[in-house]
Amino acid sequence: MAFCLAEGAGAMSLPRQPLDLGVIGNCQVAALIDPQGRMTWLCLPRLDGDPVFCALLDGDEPTSGFMDVLVGGLVATRQTYLRNTAILETVLEAKDGAAVRLIDFAPRCKRFGRSFRPAQVIRRLEPLAGRPRVTIRIRPRAAWGSATPQRRSGSNHLRWVEGETSLRVTTDAPVSFIAHEASFVLDRPISLVLGEDEPLPEAPGELAVRFEAETHAYWLEWTRYLSIPFEWQEAVIRAAITLKLCTFEETGAIAAALTTSIPEAPGSGRTWDYRFCWLRDSYFCVQALNRLGATRTMEAFIRFLTDIVLVDASAPLAPLYPLAPGVLIKERTAPALAGFLGDGPVRIGNAAATQVQNDSYGQVILATAQAFFDARLPRPGDLALFRLLETVGETAERVALTPDASLWEYRGRARVHTYSAAMCWAGLSRLAAIAHRLGLPTEQARWAASAARLREAILRQAWREDLGCFVDAFGSEGTDAALLLLPELGFIAHNDPRFQATLARIEQRLRCNGLLLRYDQPDDFGLPETAFLVCSFWYVDALAGQGRLAEARALFEHLLARRNHLGLFSEDCDPRTGQLWGNFPQAYSMVGLILSAMRLSRSWEEALWRAS
């Protein structure tokens, strides 16, 4: 088992860290911005494109691959989101009292009765105090950092082109000063509109102001209809907005994260491209947003399943899919980029797409199940969709007790993993419930009987009598944090002695400074060094299920304190230092926050309507 500091060690101080980044986006593109206003990550023309800004993955002191604003005599910065939006504000203050306000966002609003989400990001600069002297630097890269695009200047724009990569910046700032990175006095608001090499049909300043107002209104309207818990509202709203930014609206796909190759731990070699749609992660995202009443993500994901994933429903499912057709998913490296903090390799694509991960079948069924029961939906699940899911269920029956790579995507071994088998059971169980809902007694009996047989087999083979607990895989001795989900699936009750014994073993072997590691067995890269954040939220839920509410709430608050300065999570956290690691922002982690907050919060009735 990995070494951990003693439980109960003093609280850690959390200084500014490398993943103190803000994210802006519009479900077409997204960008990451550091506390000094440097834009270090932007892929065009969509979330999984070639990054024109890639400094995030190019060592400690990259000289290009970014856009920033230098302020002479800079002494302080502060950064926040405009309330309940994905619009980021960064203030840069100089020692002479001068100050500049940066507003960054990706336009999103309604136009002509449909969603408007261009492949653009907009930066507005405003003088707040004094006469600040600024230098605007725009240094894009192409071909995954291996090429510097050629720059051309126009009367009110700059354009960079290299092969298939293009970037146009249209502005009402002095173009020659930007082109030559010369400083000038910011004595009026200016705007920069970044996107592909397409002309802007109107004045950039007027367009930027209008787009900001419309984007601001869109996010306020979207968050207004979330069914949030009474407690931890701001944290839940920020998590929900971040999940929304991980969706690719054109197809309904949901990206696991917006980056590639941020290591799970320093020097670990665990650098993966997460800009793909994992069926597992998507199920959890749909579950969280459904709980908040944002069901359109589920509706769009069902469209993604029927259009892309289930073209042949009888074919084996891949664990992950491109956000849109035509994207190469084969794993390769980008040698021109040094890696996050110099820690590579930088990977493009993901070899996990070729793995066998049997839990995917259950997750497809669970992600769509609510569509058959939710009377709010304009197009509820119907018989045709049920027949499609039955085909998925038939495959789940066949593969449930066969070896796979597990949800942890082991690259060097295959076993019959308990969680994968239990998720197949959950799929069969939900098919029986859907059949009942549709008034199909024969199908209901068929799937209920199949689920019962599978459950009995899992209970028999996943239990180790000599250890007194469930184990990660049949015949193994390993401990797996995913076993905490068994009650959440309805597979076993929280108060079942077998689950309670399994929980005790997980606490003994995986807990480290209040956070949870994924498993206690070496994988292809050795033992995990960092805590997988969503596992800690699963632990919160398990504690609540045991009635240990004070412990659950304390751990939840401990986890919230691990977020970055804007309330965002990556995938992993070093339990010793509190530093965030792994791809960012991580949808899985934000899901865990939402679901645990929903479980732990006092109800509105208890906290407000009946409060004395």
The DSSP annotation for 187-201 comes to -S-EEEEEESS---S
Say which residue the tokens 């990451």 belong to: 32
Q: Return the closest-CA partner of residue 551 out of 538, 540, 561.
A: 540
What is the maximal distance between C-alpha atoms in the chain? 79
Q: How far apart are CA 353 and CA 188, in angstroms?
A: 50
Q: 15-44: per-residue pLDDT in tens?
A: 579 999 999 999 999 999 999 999 999 999
Q: 173-185: per-residue pLDDT in tens?
A: 999 999 999 999 9
Question: What is the per-residue pLDDT for 9?
Answer: 31
Q: 419-459: per-residue pLDDT in tens?
A: 999 999 999 999 999 999 999 999 999 999 999 999 999 99
Question: What is the per-residue pLDDT for 35?
Answer: 97
Residue 526 pLDDT level (bands cut at 50, 70, 90): confident
**What's the mean pLDDT in 84-111?**
97
| β-bridge pairing 339-340 and 58-59 | parallel
Mean per-residue pLDDT over the chain, rounded: 94
Q: How far apart are CA 65 and CA 57, in angstroms?
A: 9
Say which residue the tokens 């006092």 belong to: 602
Question: What is the per-residue pLDDT for 525?
Answer: 83
| β-bridge pairing 463-464 and 469-470 | antiparallel
Q: 358-408: per-residue pLDDT in tens?
A: 999 999 999 999 999 999 999 999 999 999 999 999 999 999 999 999 999
pLDDT of 612 over the 80 cut: no
Q: How far apart are CA 215 and CA 478, in angstroms?
A: 49
Residue 611 pLDDT level (bands cut at 50, 70, 90): low
pLDDT of 14 over the 60 cut: no
Which backbone phi and psi does 152 adopt, to 5 degrees? Answer: -130, 145
Percentage of the chain lying above the pLDDT 70 cut? 97
DSSP H helical segments within 152-257, as ranges? 175-179, 204-224, 233-245
Q: How far apart are CA 121 and CA 211, in angstroms?
A: 10
Residue 49 pLDDT level (bands cut at 50, 70, 90): very high
Q: How far apart are CA 471 and CA 463, in angstroms?
A: 6
Residue 274 near residue 584, CB atoms below 8 Å: no
Q: 324-345: per-residue pLDDT in tens?
A: 998 889 999 999 999 999 999 9
Residue 33 near residue 565, CB atoms below 8 Å: no
Helix (H, G, I), strand (E, B) or coil at 376: coil
Domains of the chain: 22-222 (2.70.98.10)
Give whole-number Cα distances, 335 to 345, 439, 496, in Å: 7, 57, 51
**What's the mean pLDDT in 306-317?**
91
Overall size of the chain counted in residues: 612
Q: How far apart are CA 509 and CA 397, in angstroms?
A: 32
Residue 155 pLDDT level (bands cut at 50, 70, 90): confident
**What's the mean pLDDT in 219-231?**
97
Give whole-number Cα distances, 111 to 114, 115, 197, 220, in Å: 5, 6, 22, 17
